[in-house]
Amino acid sequence: MNWIDYAIIGIYLIGLLAMGMAFRHQPNSKEYFLGGRSIPWPALALSVMATQLSAISFISAPAFVGLREGGGLIWLSYELALPIAVLLMMWRLLPTLHQSGVVSVYDFLERRFERSTRLLISFVFQLSRSFATAIMIYAISLILQGTMGLEQWHSIALIGVITLIYSAVGGMKAVVFGDAVQMIIILAGALTCLWVALDAIGGMDTALSLIDSSRMKAINTDSAGLNGNDFGLLPMLFGGIVLYASYYGCDQSEAQRSLSAHSVSDLRKVMYTVALSRFPITVIYCTTGLVIGALVINTPSLQAQIPADQPDWMMPIFIVNYLPPGVIGLLVVAIMAAAMSSLSSAINSLAAVTTEDLCRYKGHTPSDEEYMRFARLAGIGWGVVTLILSLFAGDIAPTIIEAINKIGSVFYGPVLAVFLLGIHSKTVTARAANVGLLLGVFSNTFLWLSDNPIFWFWWNAIGFVVTVVSGILANRLIPASNTATPQASYTGVNSKMIVVLASWSAILILVCLNLSAWLS
């Protein structure tokens, strides 16, 4: 890297700080955490995608496809469940949460059940989101260490302090518009890497001739996911539906964008965009991974620069070796942008949950000034906690992207189950919901710690079923500590949406089933 690259990085970081200051006038919680529900839906859609199709996807998905043992285009099967998950979310979950007017989705659970349920799930969210974000920041710090020559803690500080300032000062508007810019940069970066890699390897035909045929397989129909991480079709579908519905609908870091939509109509447009756009973007990431992976495997000098058993280094090593000055700076900005997108979302959502949990309790309603002061302090506090955790994050899966999804799979099923019980059942009590949640999380934790061969994607469905069944049984067997409080429910699904998304899901499955034959 030379002065041009560092200048580009500096300009970008200064721009983020300026944007945060521009949005600093947030008089109340609705403005700070929901952007006053005035943010355009295209920006919200880009922000939703940027949070998940972020640093980890930009770095780790190509590494999984191109280098990871047992990897390849099977990664595309992650996307097969998303359209159906969107239908499940839009049926009642997201419209009901949006129309309830809450800032934290867990506030809805207090209204429906009681404060103990809200605090229990809030704790689960804060625990899982802080650790998952810490792992992501740890991974990106290593990448910046390799590209910019920074020490690990310098990388963490550079990413963290800038993000902490603009997200804590500017609130949701700064986060969303920052994410929108970052999503565009990330996608442009992936396309640039693909174009340069194709030129270096001699074109797509040459690349395809060098790629192991096993990496062309996009769906595994030979396994039910009961014997290790084999990415079988059934767990990817059933576990995937629960994972995506819970992540986009019940995880504050994503659901907060849905709550920020101006109306249910805008919310529907956001989720349409996410459901229809994620697969093409993931195809770009995967194609980039295939081509760069083939280049690395057939270039010993390049392969030697990638640490053993750390395929996540593939993209930054390629960037440093093959891209010209200026473009390297743009790609490093893309990596940093992706990391900041995830971190800013985590900080803002964690602050929202903490502030709502602590500031809005029975008998006390803080003034707007008091609330905003606590909200900003909570954002700074969670930013510091996450950055400290990232200094000690370790490896729990072959690639970082698998590690983060593995952590989430312990909690996503039980959390979704509690929300759906609250919305679809008028009689389930708080005590029953709490018992179901604890048993669902316990069952998944046992599967993890016991080193059970069941593929971890199944944990999403298993935790969901255990929570629903045990919650219903507990409701019959355990005396209620309170009476159920029904809440109004709304739907955002119409016949057109069902046809479009069901058809899109079928198309994705057909494409993945035939992809290997088309590429041969």
pLDDT in tens, 350-396: 777 777 777 666 556 667 777 777 777 877 787 777 777 776 655 44
In this prediction, residues 94-101 reach a mean pLDDT of: 88
Dihedral (C-alpha) 166, 120, 456, 143: value to the nearest 10 degrees?
Answer: 20
Per-residue pLDDT at 85 exceeds 90: yes
Phi and psi of 394, rounded to 5°? -120, 180
As given in the structure block, the two tokens for residue 4 are 């041009």
Task: Give the C-alpha separation, 231 to 72, whole Å.
Answer: 11
Write phi, then psi, for 304 (nearest 5 degrees): -65, -20
CATH tag for 3-519 (out of 1.20.1730.10, 3.40.640.10, 1.10.167.10, 3.30.565.60) = 1.20.1730.10
Tokens of 68: 């990871």
Cα separation, 151 vs 457, in Å, equals: 35
The pLDDT of residue 397:
46
Q: How confident is the model at residue 410 (pLDDT cuts 50, 70, 90)?
A: confident
Determine the distance from the C-alpha atom of residue 504 to the mean position of all C-alpha atoms in its chain, rounded to a whole number. 21
Percentage, residues of the chain above pLDDT 90: 21
Give the pLDDT band (50/70/90) at residue 26. Answer: low
Helices 400-424 and 458-477, axial angle in degrees (round to 10): 30
- Residues 119, 358: contact at Cβ < 8 Å? no
How confident is the model at residue 436, as a pLDDT?
94
Residue written as token pair 């629903």: 468
Nearest CA among 233, 293, 258 for reference residue 99: 258
Count CB neighbours of 161 within 10 A: 14
CA distance 342 to 56: 9
Separation between Cα atoms, residue 147 and residue 313, nearest integer Å: 10
- Supply φ then ψ for residue 232, to 5 degrees: -65, 155
Q: What is the pLDDT of residues 259-301, one digit of tens each?
A: 888 898 999 999 999 999 999 999 999 999 999 999 998 888 8
Q: What's the sign of the alpha-carbon dihedral 509, 510, 513, 515? A: negative
Q: Where are the alpha helices (DSSP H) in 260-326?
A: 264-297, 300-303, 314-322
The answer to whether the CB of 352 falls within 8 A of the CB of 103 is: yes
Digit-coded pLDDT (tens) for 222-260: 888 787 777 888 999 999 999 999 988 888 878 888 888
Domain ranges of the chain: 3-519
Q: How far is the C-alpha of 142 from the C-alpha of 394, rounded, in Å?
A: 12
Residue 212: left if φ>0, alpha if ψ -120 to 50, beta else—which one? beta
Angle at 299 between CA 294 and CA 303, to 5 degrees: 90
Backbone angles phi and psi of 361, in degrees to 5 = -120, 165
Alpha-carbon Rg for the chain, nearest whole angstrom, is 22
User: Which one, of 152, 370, 399, 429, lies nearest residue 289 by Cα?
Assistant: 399
Whether the Cβ atoms of residue 321 and residue 298 lie closer than 8 Å to each other: no
Determine the average pLDDT of the residues in 484-497: 80
In the block, which residue shows the tokens 């969670």?
382
**Residue 443: pLDDT above 90?**
yes
